[in-house]
Copies of this chain bind each other. A is one copy, B any other.
Amino acid sequence: MEDIHNDDVIGRARVKDTPELEAYYKELEGLGAGALWTVANDIEPWEPRSSSVPMLWEYDNLRELVLKSSELVTPEQAGRRVVYLVNDKRKDVSAAVGWLYTGIQVTRPGESTSAHRHKASALRFIMEGEGGYTVVDGNKVTFEVNDFVITPNSAWHEHGVAENGKTCIWQDGLDIPLVNALEANDYAVFDGKQPLTAPANYLPLTYSGAGLVPQDANWDKPYSPLFKYAWKDVYPALLEAAKVNEGSPYDGIIMQYSNPLTGGHVMQTMGASIQLLRAGEHTKAHKHTGSFVYQCAKGKGYSIINGKRFDWKERDIFCVPSWAWHEHVNLSETEDACLFSFNDLPVIEKLGLYQEKEYPENNGHQVL
Contacts from A to B (Cβ < 8 Å): 9-15, 20-21, 24, 27-28, 31-37, 39-41, 43-52, 55, 57, 61-62, 65, 68-69, 72-73, 76-88, 93-94, 98-99, 101, 103, 114-116, 118-120, 153-154, 176-177, 179-190, 198-202, 205-216, 222, 224, 226, 229, 233-234, 236-238, 240-241, 243-245, 248, 251, 254-263, 266, 268-269, 273-275, 289, 291, 321-323, 344, 346-348, 350-355
From residue A51, how far is it (CB to closest CB) to chain B in Å? 7
Knowing A179-B353, A255-B214, A350-B350, the reply to whether A189 touches B12 (Cβ < 8 A) is yes
Copy number in the complex reads 4
Knowing A37-B78, A213-B255, A323-B183, the reply to whether A176 touches B44 (Cβ < 8 A) is yes
Assembled-state Cα–Cα distance A353/B184 (Å): 6
Knowing A45-B187, A183-B51, A321-B183, the reply to whether A32 touches B211 (Cβ < 8 A) is no
From residue A9, how far is it (CB to closest CB) to chain B in Å? 6
B residues less than 8 Å from A99 (CB atoms):
181-182
Knowing A10-B189, A245-B206, A268-B352, the reply to whether A183 touches B48 (Cβ < 8 A) is yes
B residues less than 8 Å from A93 (CB atoms):
43
Assembled-state Cα–Cα distance A11/B73 (Å): 14
Q: Quick one: which of B15, B68, B177 contacts A43, CB cutoff 8 A?
A: B177
Q: Quick one: which of B11, B36, B254, B289 contacts A184, CB cutoff 8 A?
A: B289
Instruction: Select from chain B the residue with minimum beta-carbon distance to A120.
Output: B44
In the complex the two chains form, is B11's CB within 8 Å of A190's CB?
yes
Instruction: Select from chain B the residue with minimum beta-carbon distance to A175.
Output: B351
In the complex the two chains form, is B83's CB within 8 Å of A347's CB?
no
In the complex the two chains form, is A57's CB within 8 Å of B37's CB?
no
Knowing A213-B255, A215-B254, the reply to whether A241 touches B205 (Cβ < 8 A) is yes
Assembled-state Cα–Cα distance A265/B281 (Å): 38
Instruction: Select from chain B the residue with minimum beta-carbon distance to A256.
Output: B215
In the complex the two chains form, is B94's CB within 8 Å of A213's CB?
no
Q: What are 11 residue pairs bridging A and B, where the CB atoms are less than 8 Å apart in the complex?
A: A32-B85, A36-B79, A36-B103, A43-B177, A45-B186, A49-B183, A98-B183, A119-B355, A184-B348, A208-B241, A215-B251
In the complex the two chains form, is B40's CB within 8 Å of A79's CB?
yes
From residue A142, how far is it (CB to closest CB) to chain B in Å? 12
In the complex the two chains form, is B237's CB within 8 Å of A208's CB?
yes
Instruction: Select from chain B the residue with minimum beta-carbon distance to A216.
Output: B248
In the complex the two chains form, is B214's CB within 8 Å of A226's CB?
no
Q: Quick one: which of B31, B81, B266 contacts A57, CB cutoff 8 A?
A: B31
Instruction: Select from chain B the residue with minimum beta-carbon distance to A36.
Output: B82
In the complex the two chains form, is B83's CB within 8 Å of A35's CB?
yes
B residues less than 8 Å from A213 (CB atoms):
255-256, 258, 263
Q: Quick one: which of B211, B266, B269 contacts A352, CB cutoff 8 A?
A: B269
